Amino acid sequence: MTVELGDVVEGPLDRLTEPLSRVLGTRTVGALNKLGLHTTGDLLRHYPRRYSEPGKLTDLSSLEIGEHVTVMAEVRQVTVREMRTRGGAMLQAVLTDGTRTLNLTFFAKHKGALHGHENKLRAGRVGLFTGVVGAYQGSRQLTHPDYTIVGVDVEDEAEALVEAGRPIPIYPASAAIASWRIHTCVRTVLDPLREVDVADPIPEALRTRLSLPTLHQALLDVHEPFDDSQVRRGTNRLKYEEAFVLQVALARRRAEAAGQEATARPRLAGGLLDAFDAQLPFTLTNGQREVGAELAVELAAPSPMQRLLQGEVGSGKTVVALRAMLQVVDGGGQAALMAPTEVLAAQHVRTLRALLGTLAEGGFLGGDDRGTRVALLTGSQNAAARRENLLDAAGGRAGIVVGTHALLSENVQFADLGLVVVDEQHRFGVEQRDTLRAKATRVPHLLVMTATPIPRTIAMTVFGDLETSTLTEVPAGRSGVTTHVVPADNPAWMDRTWRRVREEVDAFHRVFVVCPRIDPDDPAAAAGAAGVDDDGADLLALDLDPGDGTTAERRPLRAVLEVVEELRGLPALAGVDIGVLHGRMSADDKERTMAQFAAGQIQVLVATTVIEVGVDVAEATGMVVLDADRFGISQLHQLRGRVGRGSAPGLCLLVTGAVDSGSSSPSATRLRTLEETTDGFVLAAVDLELRREGDVLGAAQSGGLSSLRLLRVTRDADLIARARTEATAVVDADPTLEHSPALRAAIEQQLAGEREEFLDRS
């Protein structure tokens, strides 16, 4: 009998799905529920955040007023007295870490009610105390703290010694339930469990081979350790488990896709692709050729290609994608190219048409008879154009359909969608990818392209269901970009900056001036909203926390509409045609402006980050980024990739008020790194280190990652790589995981969690 994922698995697993209410009291369960813990399994997966070293007292000077703290300290002195004026009694204890002190205060109706505390809080004893730090007459104190005295609740002396030497787990706690109360609950749940009660997602054979403890043992290791080495052993095993379960889930997705049927589109001799290659004005780089061959083979197979193409800015991904599209068109299919912004979609259409020449004029007089058409579909194009393009897509006349999110809308249909290319993946979630793929009658091949190099570890997790190809070299003949940081407060430097812009223009080159927002009149606080448009791209500059806490006192961010006026008034730029480009302009206006810029009718373009991705103007050599500290590393690298693409060298000036000489704030580090290197992989790695993990991964792409507690995607690359290999082997040997029910259950649980999260968000 085979079991489908989702069936209830009877037996031992149930011990970990038991509701906490079956083993713990109502109030405790209520407090645990608030921490998101509902089952015994949840509680056992609520790992300690850290461990208190036995006997090592907390540095009491580090406590902040108002903070909810758990401290280990020694009782120095206790006094109990009656309060004449107020009535009632009060116990005061002084705690110490050896140097500093902290006061404890308990009130009661009469002295007798304080006996319990008096008995436990004896001078010389060490305990864990928790509460909110308050201030009274200039001293810090905890009022009615919850506490436990180390070693007191143990009967025999020898045992007490051992107990006193054990690491003390400190749990993520709340005001409603203190850390050691959680510890007590964990023991209540964990102690009666035997090895067989705890189903282990890691198959025994693998566990043995890697010398990993069982799940049961690992839980004991982290919740009730006798020493640090046990903590390490348990933590490592649980971390490995997280990586392994995630990788098995991804391996199953890959296997599932491989098991699906797609239309094979083998390369056709004498077809469109051959004609294209014959007229290509440059030779492909080795990388382009190799990746191209890889794609050609996969497109020729009857199962869907699932590939991620990453490459340095300007490495020529578009041509690689186009050649794949042409192979599919030769095979009777269509290709959809999905771009994140309207500007980029329009740009892609222009680029593709230019590269294809008469091959893009299929069905037109003078077009090549092997030719096809390239259709554009965006949200804001006019009704007539849209209707025609929709017909070309649905009727199959357009072999290539380029668009934004508009491609996802219900009325877009294809005659035979054979390949989906998603450009600049970081703006698209997995769901959108799936929506587009659902438009095909059979599963289409998939090629995902990313703008920025992706560190290996992200490729293995976020994009773990895709195989990866990488273009490392940039075509010969590129002059590259030199980058300098310019202090905004230095008038001489700013003067020099604009004169440099002038020099570029005089040499018949073009210059971008990038600002973080559009309109100076938008309130600074609503700066994000100011950038909202169907492109969504303008927003990106503003999402970023500079990470040095200086946002609040910054002067207002430079805005396109203000900067353009300023530049038009500058003597240094007299006679220069200066245009603007931002997300609030209509698609037509944007496209017209880009065309004028490309043709040289506009020489300086003041823009938001709408130009960030993929804009390709060979004559653009200069870029000035204002408030450069407001942008992320990858984004700035992406931006400067727009210049120096032709034979003339590019110059990128990063203007910022955040960099004084010798400043070591994160923004300063970011900008200096950009000055020093143009290697996208190096920058991606620095970026990962400087930013918080969540920022890097992005909410839309965190599917599956929300279940990670111990694993750090940014740091545990080797572990993830090893888990991936093992996971692939397990799935190859047992695709439905029939023989590993606990593993199946773990994956099912992870999926359920993801769905829940998805529902929460929608």
Judged by CB under 6 A, the stretch of 208-216, 306-314, 559-567, 703-711 that binds ligand ADP is 306-314
Residue 680 interacts, among Mg ion, ligand ADP, none and using kind-specific CB cut-offs from 5 to 8 Å, with none
314 near ligand ADP (CB under 6 A): yes
What 3 state SS string does 717-737 have?
Answer: HHHHHHHHHHHHHHHHHCCCC
Identify how many contiguous H helices and E strands the chain contains and give both numbers: 27, 22
136 near ligand ADP (CB under 6 A): no
Residue 616 interacts, among ligand ADP, Mg ion, none and using kind-specific CB cut-offs from 5 to 8 Å, with ligand ADP
Q: In angstroms, what is the minimal distance from the CB of 643 to ligand ADP?
A: 12
Query: For residues 95-134, which are near ligand ADP according to CB under 6 A?
Result: none
Residue 251 interacts, among ligand ADP, Mg ion, none and using kind-specific CB cut-offs from 5 to 8 Å, with none
Of the candidate residues 237, 645, 670, 724, the single one contacting ligand ADP (CB under 6 A): 645
282 near ligand ADP (CB under 6 A): yes
421 near ligand ADP (CB under 6 A): no
CA distances from 94 to 102, 123, 142, 433, 467 (A): 6, 9, 10, 62, 62
Spell out a b/e string for 632-641, using b for 16 or more CB atoms within 10 Å of the CB, else e: bbbbbbbbbb
Long-range contacts of 493-502 (CB under 8 A, 24+ apart): 494/655, 495/572, 497/624, 497/653, 497/655, 498/567, 498/570, 498/572, 498/573, 499/572, 500/622, 500/651, 500/653, 501/572, 501/573, 501/604, 501/622, 501/624, 502/572, 502/573, 502/576
What 8-state DSSP symbol labels residue 302? S
- Among residues 514, 482, 545, the alpha carbon closest in space to that of 674 is found at 482
Judged by CB under 6 A, the stretch of 111-119, 281-289, 460-468, 509-517 that binds ligand ADP is 281-289
Output the residue with the shortest Cβ distance to ligand ADP: 316
Cα separation, 59 vs 99, in Å, equals 9
Query: For residues 596-615, which are near ligand ADP according to CB under 6 A?
Result: 614
| Nearer CB in complex with ligand ADP: 285/497 | 285
Q: Show Cβ contacts of residue 127 under 8 Å, excluding neighbours closer than 6 positions.
A: 72, 73, 75, 120, 121, 147, 148, 149, 150
Q: In angstroms, what is the minimal distance from the CB of 552 to Mg ion?
A: 36
Judged by CB under 6 A, the stretch of 89-97, 221-229, 283-291, 566-574 that binds ligand ADP is 283-291
614 near Mg ion (CB under 5 A): yes
Cα separation, 118 vs 75, in Å, equals 11
Number of residues that bind ligand ADP (CB under 6 A): 16
CA distances from 727 to 204, 241, 250, 295, 708 (A): 14, 11, 9, 25, 17
| Nearer CB in complex with Mg ion: 287/614 | 614
316 near ligand ADP (CB under 6 A): yes
Which of helix, strand or coil describes residue 26? helix
Of the candidate residues 58, 288, 603, 656, the single one contacting ligand ADP (CB under 6 A): 288
475 near ligand ADP (CB under 6 A): yes
| Nearer CB in complex with ligand ADP: 531/641 | 641
Q: In angstroms, what is the minimal distance from the CB of 474 to Mg ion?
A: 12
| Nearer CB in complex with ligand ADP: 41/314 | 314
HSE of 396, CA atoms in CB hemisphere, 13 A: 11
Residue 311 interacts, among ligand ADP, Mg ion, none and using kind-specific CB cut-offs from 5 to 8 Å, with ligand ADP
| Nearer CB in complex with ligand ADP: 317/370 | 317
Give me the residue label for tokens 């353009």.
Answer: 564
Residue 469 interacts, among Mg ion, ligand ADP, none and using kind-specific CB cut-offs from 5 to 8 Å, with none
707 near ligand ADP (CB under 6 A): no
Q: In angstroms, what is the minimal distance from the CB of 447 to Mg ion?
A: 13
Are 613 and 344 spatial neighbours (Cβ–Cβ below 8 Å)? yes
Give me the residue label for tokens 């706690």.
Answer: 173
340 near Mg ion (CB under 5 A): no
Of the candidate residues 28, 58, 315, 450, the single one contacting ligand ADP (CB under 6 A): 315
| Nearer CB in complex with ligand ADP: 414/597 | 597
Q: Which residues bind Mg ion (CB under 5 A)?
A: 614
Name the site residues for ligand ADP (rule: CB under 6 A). 282, 284-285, 288, 311, 313-319, 475, 614, 616, 645
